[in-house]
Each structure stands twice: as structure tokens, then as C-alpha cells.
Structure 1
């Protein structure tokens, strides 16, 4: 009966999204994958919250417009049992269709954003409210603020056709070409980019790279490099990634610790794009993104900061950072070591607060870490 229901639904939607697998194959993969996950020692949020009753309830559902299945949502977590989260939204409707699994994971990851919670309206405030964290440049090497956006009326990566990628790239780059003053720059498509140029951009941490196994397992890397690229302003302080994980990743960065200036640059760039592009959003979840960890404000503000004394006790550093809703990573990001006492530290809260509040928490927390580092230094 379940297989028949799925066949009928997928047949009805076949003109919208062609399937390479028969419905019975999808169900077989789901059943086998669920059993593998259940028998594993995975610590993912997917395993924690995907109970058998929820699995059985969702396994034959599909999203109304794009016909995404539960397999589209969880196949990355089924393939990568070491995932921390293990689920992606293949299209904006997935958050509603598969709410029984998305809601508890969102609540768990975003610490208390339960079913009754509602993300507030955007409020960016002014970057000038946040003074330079390190005017003498003793601690902070660089500062970065980024946010993600998805274009309305398009699904997310797993459901995009090759033509969709091209259409999105054309829409986005047309608007990028109108940016002026500090934000003016040039778009570099990934298709046809020489390998040495590509590697130089990756080495400078400007450009994303192919090969992320979690995204690949989620079918988010199809038709690579079609429709992908990077926009860079003249000063190389404002970047826009096109069709990497989300349709748009807007990044503002510079050397030093002037978080306010970096944040203000991002705001102006985002608002310039929003004038011509309509973004996907939800009245409860805020801005909609491919990965549920980036919902809400989608803001990730981070610094590369030297904390050689605090860093001698990593557990203590992480405990202090946690009090200020900050996350500690190694120099090159998650699962890496800190080189020469340099850490990547960012805000953790993205839902249930405004953009202004998220950056304010970051500013206050980094100030506290710098003060603690100075105190530790004085003890020596």
C-alpha cells in the first residue's frame, strides 16, 4: 500500500521532477538505510530523533511542488554515520512536509527553538554600534561575517536541474553587476576557470571547493561546476558564492578586528541584492536554507584570534566560549588543530534572535575572551 501511494504521487509530479529510481527502490533504500542507522553507534541528531514511528509516518511522503522524499532529506546522514546533524532540506517545502523530523532536530541544534517558537523579523541595526575589538591588532588576525540566502521559487541543490543552475547564476550575476562603490567587483564562473587560479583562490580562503562528502551524498554537487562561481570586489573584502551550498553566500571580511565595519559591509551588500532578488523565507523559521543549522538569521560571524594562554586548556577555553554562545574551532575550521595558538571562533545562535543581537553576542563574547587572555598573560 505504501509503495502504491508513493507511485501515484510521484507519477503525478513526474513532469516537475523526473526520478531516476522507482518508488519501490526508494522505499527499499530507506528501509535498509534506517536499519543501518538504527544499528550504528552514530551520534548524529538524525539518529537521535528519527524514531521508527516517525520514520514509518514519513517514508512515503513527498513535497507538493518538487516531489522530494524522505530519502532526499536524510541520505547524507545515512551514508555518513559520523555526521553531526545528518539531514538537509532538498526544497523549501521539506521543512513542512517532514516537520516531524526537522522540528525536533532544529529544536535540539538551535537550543530551545521548539515547535511553538517563532523567529523574529530581521533587524540588522548598524555596524557602527560595534567598535573595533582589537585596535592595536595584538590578538585578532581577521574578521569575517557571512550569511546565506535562497532564491524564491527555486528548490535547493538536490532538486535543481542543470538548466536551473544556469538560470540562477544568470539572475544572481545580473544583480551583482550593478553593485557599486566598495562592493563593485567581478564575477568568476567556476566553469572554465583554470586550475591554478582556482587553487590560489581556495588557498586564500576566498573560494569553496568541490568534494565535500556530506554535500555529495545529499546530491548537492550534481552538474558541477555548472552554475557555480564567485564574485569578488576590488579590495577582496566582499565575496558572494553562487550555488555552492545555498544559492547565495554573502561574505564580508578583512584583516584585524573591526567587526562593526565588516558587518556593515555585509548588510549593505545583502540589502543591495535583496532590492532585486526575492529570497525564500518562512514566518516561523526565518530565512530558509539547505542545511537546518543555518536557518533564521543565517549569520555566522567569526574571527581568527590568537589565544596562546587560554588555549593551553582547550576544555576551559571552550567552556568559557560556550557561556557567551560562541563555538571554538581550529585554525582551519571544524575538526582541525589550532596552529600557533590561533583559533576560529564564531557565534552559535542563529535562530530566535535578530541579526543585530547575534553579532552583539559575538562582539561581547570576543571582548571577554581577549580580557581573559590578557589576565592569563599577566599571571606568567
Structure 2
């Protein structure tokens, strides 16, 4: 049974408004009526976009784009949510895409490198002329999968890997792959389920991993394409170089959905702009000052959180929109250096 404290916590979560609910309630009746009458070229409605939030009132965002046109057609709801979450005024924003030169990502000192355990860079992309996954038909899911499978054959040799369709993997193989973070998670997220991300599962889903297991492509997980470059060392420049090279080669076969202000568009408005996610696992020696270090990390727009392993922490970028990919990578790398130096010196300000 749920005790009183647990029940109180659940009730507080439900009472807290999602961003979608917050800004939907700000709309005038005429704006709401106008929203309800609109449909995108893929027949997406505002109800499709807020359905998950309606079914899950404890959601942080509660809003998803079932196709790229939603960001513009329903902008009176999407834009306030985006500005609130990303803490940026997008009304005068012009998105700039720039991977920069990976050579400018400098190696850190050997002392700092010893505390960096792994690097994982992920970038998501949605393919032009398709809706987002909840609106894809089975045929479209399979079409994207086949197009990606064909394109993978033309990647550089070190990036190529065998493609595996999810429907061809038995349960035990899936479990092993997930334990190694090679395969995306099973369809159990209630927010995504309500939003329709698991429609027609497992059709059209799959992954490819290269021989060295440092480059992965996920197909039709939450977005059409997810690129993952990773390493079990501190070579950020090499990891970033693999990512740049892979995306540029895939981009020759696919046009990605993009907005002049919002950057690259994906299913979740929380994952637009660069759609760049960086996770670096580090070992900290002085966890007695963890609270101070967490606050210190925020100065560099880095989120620091504990993992399930003792003294191992995950550092991730807070910002995805309003800066270029190169700016985010370089700023985060500089921040990680400062964080580890603070841990080494035990001198947190």
C-alpha cells in the first residue's frame, strides 16, 4: 500500500502543471478555438500534440510534435513552452549550425584524464517529408529502415556495421544489448506510449554498431535517426570527429527537418536546436563537497548527477538551443576540466 508521504508526493506532482498545461491556460478562448480547427499536412491536430500531457498530468513538458509543421502551425503553444524550458527568447533567434573543427578540442592533462571514464555523444535527426514517429504508417517505418540500411553501406569502413532489425532479435539478445547500452530501451515509458511513439512496435526499428563499438545508429526509436559516438577514454576530439563524419555522410542521402529559428526539429520540443546530448562519466574523489560541486557545474551549463556506481558521476550539457554544436562541445569540455580540477584541489568556490 502507498503510505501517507508517498500519496502526498504523488498528489503534489499531479497538482503541478506541465509546461503545456501552463501555457494552454494562458491562451484566449479565440486562440484555443483557432488551434482546435487547425491541421497540418499530415493531419496532426493540437490534441495529438497534448494527448500525452492530458493522460499524464505529472509530465514536465506534456507537449510533443507529431510532425515538423506543428512547431509553426501551433506556435502559440509550442513557442512559449520552448522559451520556458530552454530559457531563451526565440522570437529573434536565428539558428546557426556549426560543427567547427574537432582539432580545436584540446586533450586534457594526464591527471585530469585519469578521472574521465567514458564519453557518449548523441545527436537526433528527423528526416524531411515524413511525419514524426506517432504519425508514421507501418510502410513508412519500414521504408525509413530500408533507406537507412542501404545508406549505411556507403559509410567509411570504420563506421560501418551490420544492421539489426528489432523484430529479428530474441528477448535474451535484446536484454544483453541494452545492458551494454547498444540497444534503446524497451517500450515502457508511459509518456511516450500515450504520445504514440510505440505505434506498430517493433516494426521499422533497429540499430547498427561498428566493429569497434564506438559508433551506433538507432532507427525509429523516438526520432527517425539517433547517432551515437562513444569512447571508454578521454578522447573527446576523436569521439566528436566520428560524430561529425558520420552525420555529414548520412546527410548526403537524407534531408533533415530544420527551422530557421528552432534549428533541427524532433519529436520532443525539449530536444531541438542542435539536438546534441553529451554525457561524460567521471570519477570524483571528494564527494563530501558534492552539493558545492553541483552548483559550481551550473556555471558551465553542466548538469552533474550521481550514477548507480560509487563515486562515479554523469556530466551532461544543459543547453541544446541558442548555441552551435561546436560551442556546446567546447564549453562543456572546458567546464569538465574546471570541475575535475576543483575536485582534485578540493577548492570549490
Q: In 2, are the aligned partners of 1:133 and 1:363 still within 8 Å (CA)?
A: no
- Counterpart-to-counterpart distance in 1, 2:282 and 2:38: 45
Displacement of 1:57 in angstroms is 3.7
Matched, 1:329 2:329: no
Q: 1:283 aligns with which of 260, 264, 267?
A: 260
Q: 1:320 aligns with which of 296, 304, 313?
A: 296
Q: 1:341 to 1:97 in 2, by over 3 A?
A: same
Q: 1:90 aligns with which of 22, 44, 66?
A: 66
Q: In 1, are the aligned partners of 2:40 and 2:70 still within 8 Å (CA)?
A: no
TM-score (norm 1): 0.83
Displacement of 1:165 in angstroms is 0.4
Q: Secondary structure at the match of 2:237?
A: helix
Q: In 2, are the aligned partners of 1:179 and 1:185 still within 8 Å (CA)?
A: no
Does 150-159 or 105-114 show the bigger shift?
105-114
- Counterpart-to-counterpart distance in 2, 1:232 and 1:101: 38
Q: Secondary structure at the match of 1:173?
A: helix
- Counterpart-to-counterpart distance in 2, 1:279 and 1:114: 20
The residue number in structure 1 matching 2:7 is: none
Displacement of 1:53 in angstroms is 2.8
Matched, 1:271 2:248: yes
Matches within 5 A, 1:204-283: 204-209=180-185, 210-283=187-260
Q: 2:326 aligns with which of 339, 344, 356?
A: 356
- Counterpart-to-counterpart distance in 1, 2:288 and 2:54: 37
- Counterpart-to-counterpart distance in 2, 1:206 and 1:241: 9
Question: Superposition RMSD on alpha carbons, in Å?
Answer: 2.0
TM-score (norm 2): 0.90
Displacement of 1:314 in angstroms is 4.0
Does 228-237 or 70-79 show the bigger shift?
70-79
Q: 1:124 aligns with which of 99, 105, 123?
A: 99
- Counterpart-to-counterpart distance in 2, 1:195 and 1:282: 39
Q: 1:162 aligns with which of 138, 152, 156?
A: 138
Q: Deviations over 1:122-143 (max 9, x none)?
A: 1111222112346454211100
- Counterpart-to-counterpart distance in 2, 1:141 and 1:192: 33
The residue number in structure 1 matching 2:316 is: 346
Q: Deviations over 1:121-171 (max 9, x none)?
A: x11112221123464542111001110111110000111111110011111
The residue number in structure 2 matching 1:19 is: none
Displacement of 1:287 in angstroms is 0.7
Q: 1:293 aligns with which of 270, 276, 280?
A: 270
Displacement of 1:115 in angstroms is 1.9
Q: Using CA pairs under 8 Å that are at least 6 residues apart, name the structure with larger relative contact order, 1 or 2.
A: 2
The residue number in structure 2 matching 1:368 is: 338
Q: 1:61 to 1:343 in 2, by over 3 A?
A: farther
> Which ranges in structure 2 are unaligned for 5 or more consecutive residues?
1-10
Q: In 2, are the aligned partners of 1:133 and 1:259 still within 8 Å (CA)?
A: no
Q: How many residues align?
A: 333
Displacement of 1:180 in angstroms is 2.2
- Counterpart-to-counterpart distance in 1, 2:292 and 2:17: 23
- Counterpart-to-counterpart distance in 1, 2:306 and 2:252: 37
The residue number in structure 2 matching 1:15 is: none
Matched, 1:184 2:184: no
Q: Deviations over 1:195-230 (max 9, x none)?
A: 111111100111112212211110111110000001
Q: In 2, are the aligned partners of 1:134 and 1:256 still within 8 Å (CA)?
A: no
- Counterpart-to-counterpart distance in 2, 1:60 and 1:274: 35
Q: 1:314 to 1:153 in 2, by over 3 A?
A: same
> Which ranges in structure 1 are unaligned for 5 or more consecutive residues?
1-36, 332-337
Q: In 1, are the aligned partners of 2:36 and 2:47 still within 8 Å (CA)?
A: no
Q: Secondary structure at the match of 1:146?
A: strand
Q: 1:64 to 1:181 in 2, by over 3 A?
A: same
Displacement of 1:308 in angstroms is 3.9
- Counterpart-to-counterpart distance in 1, 2:262 and 2:347: 43
